Amino acid sequence: MMGLPMMTILIFLPLAAAIVVAAIDRKKTGALYGVGLAGSLAALALAAVVFVRFDPDQAALQFVERMAWIPSAGVSYHIGVDGISLPLVMLTAVIMPLALLSAWGSIAERIKEFVFSMLVLETALLGTFLAADLVLFYVFWEAVLIPMYFIIGLWGGPRRSYAAVKFILYTMTGSALMLVAIITLYLHSGPSLGARTFDLAQLRQLRVAMPLQAWLFGAFALAFAIKVPVWPLHTWLPDAHVEAPTAGSVVLAAVLLKMGTYGFLRFLLPLFPQATLQFAPLLSALAILGIIYGGIVSWAQPDVKRLVAMSSVSHLGLVTLGVFVMTVPAMQGSLLQMVNHGISTGGLFLIVGVLYDRTHSRLLGDYGGVAALMPRLAPLALIVVLSSLALPGTNGFVGEFLILLGTFRANPVYAALATSGVILSAVYLLWMYQRVMQGPVAVKERARMTDLTRREQWLFIPLIALIFWIGVYPSPLLRRSEASVRALVQDVRERGNAAHLASHESRVTSHDR
């Protein structure tokens, strides 16, 4: 398009800003944050252009850029966007400026390093969502860990090093296995595709015989499931969230977790359709367990951040369910719900951050009656809470309804069980809202509970606007994802079943390499 490598510019714009930040004097706080914000806002503007010019009727990748990177190893720099990655790219582009803005005034130490890390993180995230080559994807996927590790480990709470190490070890365990699977795929691609390649589009043609396909599926699924996190692989999440600074929590919840569910859609399903169909019931069952378990456990948390973190387990259980029931509405709902969860849970963490900046406490017991002291925060917080519990009219409902609709079509029992999440989310979120905002004023230092500053208000205004926009008029998003999702569902169903029939005459077996 226009001869400009739009996607490359989009990915590396934040990195360029990061380099500029590195050159700025560390005492100039305003300039550091200003450049960081400008970089991420520029990326947002570019992403918006992509969003507008995106052709909703096309299922394949658009804005494709492709060139050889390591030709001898079949690695290419292949990027592009389709209906599955577009919402997540938009989400990343929206959340990062907000996260940076939330840190402005909240993080006072090593600002330069912080802004630098955040911008590098944005580049890595955008790259993860736009890569169409397995090696490129893996590089970005792992690159995300590094800035996130530092964000938790340097600017986190008292147990930050435990949380950071747990986060990085847990997620790397999964991705190490994925790397093995990627290389195995590469080795198999030679005999049947003519030349060995890491290119996703070509690897999709590959038909891996069944026992091996199941193993590869398992390796990929584990890496993604840890990231999501699918129950019972979730325990790194509460620790990471509790210890991370606000901006880190926001990005972690809003975007990082979506890497897992995005991975399901982008890699797991198209690469291993047969294994997907075979293991979908297992993953659906885990997802439902996560919905219920996360909801119940959230209710009993004394720590606000931990509560919200556990609620993510529940919400992402629903997203995972939507992926694996393999119907068009459910998958579109899943995709939308990824965005919605980013907005609402990101918002919840921003609220917690605003409160934490004032009281330096995360315990529900230390709050109470905040609405009387912060009358501007209370309605904004309520809207975010309502969005998170999927009240109709807010974004959460649209996603949840579509997931449940698609799930019901595939399996009414799943849908009935998943609907319990609707009740549970109301239970724990309203419990939280009441403990923090309502009741007699129980905060110890009233004087510190000043209402939102102008900067803090601007954190919420975009989120609230998005909540209502997606809740009332989600068509722009749904329309752009429909073609790709439909193609994916059809592809997986056809090849999954066809492979089942033709597995004995498969051209690739596990011993030829």
Cα distance between residue 396 and residue 337, in whole Å? 7
Q: What are phi and psi of 375, to 5 degrees?
A: -65, -20
Listing DSSP states for 395-449 in one string gives HHHHHHHHHHHHHHHH-HHHHHHHHHHHHHHHHHHHHHHHHHHSSS---S-GGG-
Does 486 sit near other proteins (CB under 8 A)? yes
Task: Map tokens 């009332």 to a residue.
Answer: 472
Give the rounded distance of the alpha carbon of 439 from its chain centre.
34
Site string for other proteins, 235-254 (x = CB under 8 A): xx------------------
409 lines the binding site for other proteins (CB under 8 A)? yes
Is the separation of the CB atoms in 274 and 499 below 8 Å? yes
Give yes or no for residue 493 binding other proteins (CB under 8 A). Answer: no
The answer to whether the beta carbons of residues 96 and 122 sit under 8 Å apart is: yes
Between CA 458 and CA 463 the distance in angstroms is: 9
Given 164, 182, 343, 404, the residue binding other proteins (CB under 8 A): 404
Amino acid occupying residue 272: F
476 binds other proteins (CB under 8 A): no
Structure token pair of residue 208 = 């891996």
Tell me the site size for other proteins, rule CB under 8 A: 60
Dist CA 488 CA 473 (whole Å):
24
- 71 upstream amide cis, omega within 30 of 0: no
CB of 268 to other proteins, least distance (A): 21
176 forms part of the interface with other proteins (CB under 8 A): no
Residue 77 found at the interface with other proteins (CB under 8 A): no
Choose the stretch contacting other proteins; rule: CB under 8 A; options: 41-49, 151-159, 190-198, 364-372.
364-372
- The Cα 125–Cα 435 span in angstroms is 35
> Using the rule CB under 8 A, is 495 a contact of other proteins?
no
> Of the candidates 175, 312, 327, 387, which one interacts with other proteins according to CB under 8 A?
327
192 binds other proteins (CB under 8 A): no
In the complex, least distance from residue 374 CB atom to other proteins, rounded to whole angstroms: 13
Tokens of 272: 């291993």
Give dist(CA 22, CA 242) in Å, integer. Answer: 28
Chain residues 132-171 in contact with other proteins, contact rule CB under 8 A: 166, 169-170
Considering the complex, state which of residue 55 and residue 512 has its C-beta at the smaller distance from other proteins.
55
Q: Which is nearer to other proteins, 183 or 427 (CB)?
A: 427
From the list 415, 487, 488, 492, which residue makes contact with other proteins (rule: CB under 8 A)?
415
Angle at 105 between CA 104 and CA 106, to 5 degrees: 95
Contact 234, 160 (CB under 8 A): no
Residue corresponding to tokens 């709902």: 333
CB of 495 to other proteins, least distance (A): 20
Among 4, 70, 472, 502, binds other proteins (CB under 8 A): 472
Of residues 143 and 296, the one with the C-beta less far from other proteins: 296
- Asked if residues 328 and 485 have their Cβ atoms less than 8 Å apart, the reply is yes
Binding of other proteins by 474 (CB under 8 A): yes
**Residue 411 binds to other proteins (criterion: CB under 8 A):** no
Which amino acid is residue 350, in one-letter code? Answer: L
Assess 452 for contact with other proteins (CB under 8 A).
Answer: no
Structure tokens at 296: 């119940």
Gap between the Cα atoms of 280 and 320, Å rounded: 10
Region 78-117 residues binding other proteins, contact defined as CB under 8 A: none
We find the least distance from the C-beta atom of residue 230 to other proteins, in angstroms, to be 12
Identify the residue among 38, 139, 172, 441 touching other proteins (CB under 8 A).
Answer: 441
CA angle 378, 338, 43 (to 5 degrees): 85
Nearer to other proteins, 45 or 300 (CB): 300
Q: Is 356 in the site for other proteins (CB under 8 A)?
A: no
* Residues making contact with other proteins (CB under 8 A): 166, 169-170, 232, 234-236, 293, 296-297, 299-301, 327-329, 332-333, 369, 371-372, 379, 386, 391-393, 397-398, 401-402, 404-406, 408-409, 412, 415-416, 419-420, 422-423, 426-427, 430-431, 434, 437-441, 472-475, 478-479, 482, 486
